[in-house]
Copies of this chain bind each other. A is one copy, B any other.
Amino acid sequence: MTRLVMKFGGTSMADLERIRRAARIVAAEAAMGKKVAVVVSAMAGKTNELVAWTDGAGAAASGLPMSDDEYDVVVGSGEQVTAGLLAMTLRNMGLNARSWMGWQVPIVTDDAHGKARIEDIPPEKLGAAVDAGEIAVIPGFQGVTRDGKITTLGRGGSDTSAVAVAAALQASRCDIYTDVDGVYTTDPRIEAKARRLEKISYEEMLEMASLGAKVLQTRSVELAMAHKVPVRVLSSFAEPGAADNSGTLVCDEEEIVEKRIVSGVAYSRDEAKVTLLGLPDQTGVPATIFTKLADANVNVDMIVQSQARTADTTNMIFTVGRRDAARAVEIMKANQAEIGFEEVRADEDVAKISVVGVGMRSHAGVAQAMFKALADKGIKIQAISTSEIKISVLIDAAYTELAVRALHAAYGLEQV
């Protein structure tokens, strides 16, 4: 008996016609004898509408604490609608189906309203229903606290719901149906030669996801890795059983026989560069800077320190998320006396380009190839950061596409 979890995102639930297509895809799996649970997002755009309403209701009196638990009551309702509609549609196709709200399963979370974490999904009731041949349709994104209050998991949480349900049901796989047909070596809108990957490891997917390839939510990949749930990303726009819709399997590194050194090139324009000029060249100064930023919950990514014109001062460059840029500058200015720099500048006109691949662990020369490929195109590297399986560089945003194409070619990613 094979249990399968299928997840449909907002664009796959956007209207009744798309819900019917999703139902046909679910029916095809059920017809093959799979025991199916389906996790659904709200109709595309719906959650934004609900969030805007809660903003409006909260704006009535600024300064008071947000009503996060009531936010969840409002915003979690979008998935309730699509879950009911998909269950109805499946029934009207003659299948046995029912919806299970977060509180009915239950999908137990902590009480961090608006960004709750799943703590437990008791598999007995749900598993028994699914094994008996009933297709369970579960609203993604929503959960319930131990004392029975509605929670939501934060934006994009439906992927996490799906993987958590798959882990709880010990499903053989979690299929994420979305508006792309898999994970690509890079963004096909930038490089037409980008290829769909047949498989990618959890670690690589995590780096890709956090680097701006928005196919899967980061937390869902972490969860899949922790519980060893194979996750397949595929298109909900192909008809059921279409031969070319095998998608990309996100799985354990060991299941990938032919390892490539570099699997993909990711990019992110969501960065900003902050430059501090004329810093005193003293130990302790960097610690002060990054403590102030951490205290304000500003995450710093890359850091470069360089010699300045005079012998006793240095310059420092660091990067933050674009929406934190103004705040980072403010924090620096507020502490200028203590830190002792001469000038602070922010530059949002930067992009981070990354190459990702588990093969890097055992291969030298990956970084050199990257720097050479960029240098050949005259692209200046402003900062570098690395992990075991990725190398990222900060460049002028104007060169983003050029850099992506150059790196895609440099690592031969266009070849099957």
| Chain B contacts for A57, CB-based, 8 A | 16, 19, 85-86, 88-89, 92
B148 adjacent to A104 (CB under 8 Å): yes
For the complex, is A136 an interface residue (Cβ under 8 Å from B)?
no
In whole Å, how far is A15's beta carbon from the nearest beta carbon of chain B? 9
Selected contact of A89 from candidates B16, B20, B23, B60, CB within 8 Å = B60
Q: Mark A12-53, 1 if CB is under 8 A from B, else 0.
A: 000010011001000000000000000000000000001001
Q: How many copies does the complex hold?
A: 2
A99 adjacent to B73 (CB under 8 Å): yes
Q: Is the interface of A mostly helix, strand, loop or mixed?
A: helix
B104 adjacent to A92 (CB under 8 Å): no
* Cα–Cα, bound, A101→B19 (Å): 27
For the complex, is A70 an interface residue (Cβ under 8 Å from B)?
yes
For the complex, is A305 an interface residue (Cβ under 8 Å from B)?
no
Q: Mark A386-415, 1 if CB is under 8 A from B, else 0.
A: 000000000000000000000000000000
For the complex, is A334 an interface residue (Cβ under 8 Å from B)?
no
Selected contact of A16 from candidates B56, B84, B86, B92, CB within 8 Å = B56
For the complex, is A284 an interface residue (Cβ under 8 Å from B)?
no
For the complex, is A64 an interface residue (Cβ under 8 Å from B)?
yes
For the complex, is A372 an interface residue (Cβ under 8 Å from B)?
no
For the complex, is A6 an interface residue (Cβ under 8 Å from B)?
no
- Quick one: given A61-B92, A92-B64, A104-B148, are A70 and B98 in contact (CB under 8 Å)? yes
For the complex, is A150 an interface residue (Cβ under 8 Å from B)?
yes
| Chain B contacts for A375, CB-based, 8 A | none
A101 adjacent to B150 (CB under 8 Å): yes
* Cα–Cα, bound, A23→B60 (Å): 11
For the complex, is A54 an interface residue (Cβ under 8 Å from B)?
yes
Most-contacted residue by chain B among A54, A73, A99 (CB, 10 A): A73
- Interface of A toward B, CB cutoff 8 Å: 16, 19-20, 23, 50, 53-54, 56-61, 64, 67, 69-74, 77, 80-81, 83-89, 91-94, 98-99, 101, 103-104, 148-150
Q: In the A-B complex, list the 4 residue pairs whose CB atoms are closest, starting with the nearest.
A: A73-B84, A74-B84, A16-B56, A67-B88
Given contact pairs A54-B88, A67-B87, A70-B84, enumerate 13 new A-B contacts (beta carbons under 8 Å). Answer: A16-B57, A19-B57, A23-B60, A53-B81, A54-B85, A57-B85, A57-B88, A59-B92, A61-B92, A69-B98, A70-B88, A72-B84, A74-B88
